[in-house]
Amino acid sequence: MPGRLVYRTIKNIFRTTSKDETASQSQQQEEKKLVSSLESNILEIKNSLGNSSDLVIRVIHIGAENNIKIGVLYTDGMINTAALQDLLDSLINKIKPSDIVPTDSTSLVSDIRKNAVTVGEVEEIKDFNTLITNILSGHAALLIENEPQAISVSIPGLEKRGVEEPQSATLIKGPRDGFTETLGTNTSLLRRRIRSSNLWLESKEIGRVTKTRVIIAYIKGLASEDIVKEVHHRLDKINIDAILETGNVEELIQDETYTPFPTIFSTERPDAVAGKLLEGRVAILVDGSPFVIVVPSLMVEFFQASEDYYQRADIATFLRFLRFFCFFIALLAPSLYIAVLTYHQEMLPTTLLVSIAAQREGIPFPAFFEALLMELTFEILREAGVRMPRAVGQAMSIVGALVLGQAAVQAGIVSNAMVIVVSMTAIANFCIPAINLAISIRLIRFVMMCLAAVFGLIGVMFGIVLLCIHLCTLRSFGVPYTSPFAPFILQDQKDTLFRFPLWSMFSRPRLINQNNVIREQNNPTSKPETRTGK
């Protein structure tokens, strides 16, 4: 508690300082309005962008006697050139002189907007800040002589990556599409799966410099209003100059708790996000990132894979039990080996004890140092394999592990049993579907090894108790992180360790959804009827 109080105090100090700085900056940069002179407006935009080379400015004349001068401004490479050409053709060739003669009740800007602009989303802008932001976001700006406002036409044409299978969550059976770095593509992938008017997408802009677009997605009537308000509140509190990736948002909105465990779920799979939205959760999409975060999140979700819902319930249940078993192997195998060999040799069968003792004959290091050396070596190999080019990374990891392991055994630095334990630990760690949870296990494993080296099995049990207490104190947007185990909810056990058949999972998670708990309305507890012909 004292540590958390100090953390919050320091965080509030930094927030207050940043708010004061932001307020002073906003006072210095007052909102500047457009003027009637076309040349003055263009000059102001050029000066604001530092005469950037990618700012394209074209001046065209339209009207009966070419007496209406219009400036077209856009960022090179940020717009759709075909749509821009259609826009210029409409302004120059397809507009009659009578179409752009304003009446007493309309302005020239409104007349051109209604009659000449036939592509993209159109907006009238009166200040420089908004206009410059739109130009840098893939909009074309139309500045008209003698008019103190501009027309912004949305015709973005950024180069984007196609929809591909996500590399971070591969499946054998299931859809192959994944999110990309383009926000419009990601929202369309969600709309493709949830064709409901209740799927609401609310947009925000975060980052004083980057002005990153963030979308909050939820299903109206399923998601809790309190959770939606909390998401808006935490996003509105973000006061930073740059948001470049989903991880930035995740770190800024997560619950204020020191923990190695991920309390926010992130994925590249649209089907996984759609399934969680249907449970009443809220998704956050960030422009420029292929990862989507979902809140609130529970620990049990990090052991679940999308493929669990695309195959038989008994197979999915077996795989989930296997993942939980691998979780304990990855967390405790080295520490149990250290504790037994150091303090509790009597627990081993005599034959096995003699075999291990023969292998360790001549090993100059104790079991703890031996395990620590092998674990650190494997972590170095894993990190090197990730950072190296993909063509040689995997080969280097496999060859490096084999060569180093064999050489270490022959040199008498480590025993064969230790190599087996470390290898099984690493393989079990790869069975965890969520990579962020797997990294947390790798960190906690070293703590458990230290406890085992000092206190033996008593230290291991003490570490497990502390770990359980810590997990029970965690919250994800107000929802207990360990639910539905603690607090125990019997109805929600159908989709935790076990994966019941879909026809029996008729209710949504109780602590997440309070508005519309029942999925299936017609006789939800009965198995579908089987009809056979005579």
For the stretch 25-40, pLDDT in tens is 444 345 788 888 888 8
Burial of 413 (0-12, 13-18, 19+ CB in 10 A): middle
Amino acid identity, position 446:
F
pLDDT value, residue 492 = 83
Predicted pLDDT of residue 13: 46
Rounded Cα gap, residues 490 and 261, in angstroms: 25
Structure confidence at residue 274 (pLDDT)? 92
C-alpha–C-alpha distance, residues 42 and 32, integer Å: 14
Alpha carbon distance 488, 391 (integer Å): 47
pLDDT at site 221? 85
Collect the ranges in the chain with pLDDT lower than 50.
1-3, 5-7, 9-10, 13-14, 16-18, 20-29, 105, 524, 532-534
- Three-class SS state of 310: coil
> Which pLDDT score is estimated for 317?
93
Nearest to 295 by CA among 240, 228, 241, 236: 228
Q: Quote the tokens at residue 307.
A: 């493929």
Shortest CA distance to 223 belongs to which of 281, 283, 272? 281
DSSP annotation of 511 reads T
Tracing tokens 């999972």 back to the chain, one arrives at 505
Per-residue pLDDT tens digits for 489-510? 888 888 888 888 888 877 788 7
